[in-house]
Amino acid sequence: MTILLAGIGLQGLVTKVKGLFSKIAEAIGKVVMKAWKALFTLIKKLFGGGTPGPVGDGKCKIGEKNRSPVGQSGALGQTAAARRRCCSGLETSDSSIFVFSVSVGGRKVPIYGRGQETGKDKCPGGVNKHRQASKKIARKEAATGKYEYLTMDRAWSTSTGVSTDTRRPDVIGVRCDGKVNAWEVISKGDTPSKLQDRVDDGMKTLPVANRGETFVVKMKC
């Protein structure tokens, strides 16, 4: 009888310990989830992506069309923060592949995607030449201050949210004025005229108000 009661008591203790560990695990899970949410919010604030913000703080609300390109310094009646505003009204649906940003006019212009690798040609340092050419275009255009963000090797649909075309130009740039520019890099074996037709066809899938310019360029390191 004594052994039976002891066994029952031990079983109850084990049950209580299991319950305690379960509560601890649940509490830790909640803390981790809050930490992840806080980190994601911080990343969104640092690199854009439609993060809401009060007027004049240099951030854009989702869908907002501010149309004020970076770099218009000296505009009468504008604060420095207001001049940093760059709201295209568009938003990439996949900001998870963030590569780097270019600082210009007190604002960071994010560039998403890694650039397509084609062929065997390499640039100094061993980087694929086609990918390096895409990065060079993205960096150069971001530095003009005319863009809210750029993407490399991302679909028209993913890059803009207003197209259903899943083809991927080498670079897409979403300008502060809501217009979208796109680039194709000529690889060995490519026909420039066919590349031009392809990028032009993709551009036509955007609303007329968002259509910008298309470019077909030589592959350079």
Q: Give the model's pLDDT for residue 5.
A: 38
> Rounded to an integer, what distance in angstroms lies between the CA atom of residue 98 and that of residue 151?
9
| Residue 79 pLDDT > 50 | no
The pLDDT tens digits of the residues spanning 88-146 come to 989 888 777 788 899 998 899 999 998 999 989 999 989 999 999 999 999 999 999 99
Residues 34 and 61 in one domain: no
C-beta of residue 142 within 8 angstroms of C-beta of residue 136: no
Task: Quote the pLDDT of residue 60.
Answer: 66
pLDDT at 99 (0 to 100):
82
The answer on 39 and 77 residing in a single domain is: no
- Residue 6: pLDDT over 70: no
Same domain, 95 and 153: yes
DSSP 47: H
25 and 132 co-located in one domain = no
Query: What is the tens place of the pLDDT at every residue in 30-46?
Result: 665 566 556 655 555 55
Q: Within this chain, do residues 74 and 31 fall inside the same structural domain, yes or no?
A: no
**Cα 146 to Cα 56: distance, rounded to the nearest angstrom:** 18
CA–CA distances in Å: residue 135 to residues 28, 180, 183, 188, 192? 41, 17, 11, 18, 20
User: Based on the domain organization, do 93 and 125 belong to the same domain?
Assistant: yes
The verdict on 22 and 93 lying in the same domain is no
Q: How many domains does the chain have?
A: 2
- pLDDT for 196 equals 97
Same domain, 60 and 76: yes
Q: Is the dihedral of CA 61, 106, 39, 111 positive or negative?
A: positive
The answer, yes or no, to whether residue 19 has pLDDT greater than 60, is yes
Q: Is the domain of 13 the same as that of 122?
A: no
Do both 191 and 173 map to the same domain?
yes
DSSP string, 22-41: HHHHHHHHHHHHHHHHHHHH
Range of the domain at 10: 1-47
Assess whether 36 and 63 both reside in one domain: no
Are 208 and 156 in the same domain? Answer: yes
pLDDT at site 15: 65
The amino acid at residue 22 is S
pTM recorded for the entire structure: 0.67
The whole-chain average pLDDT of the chain stands at 77
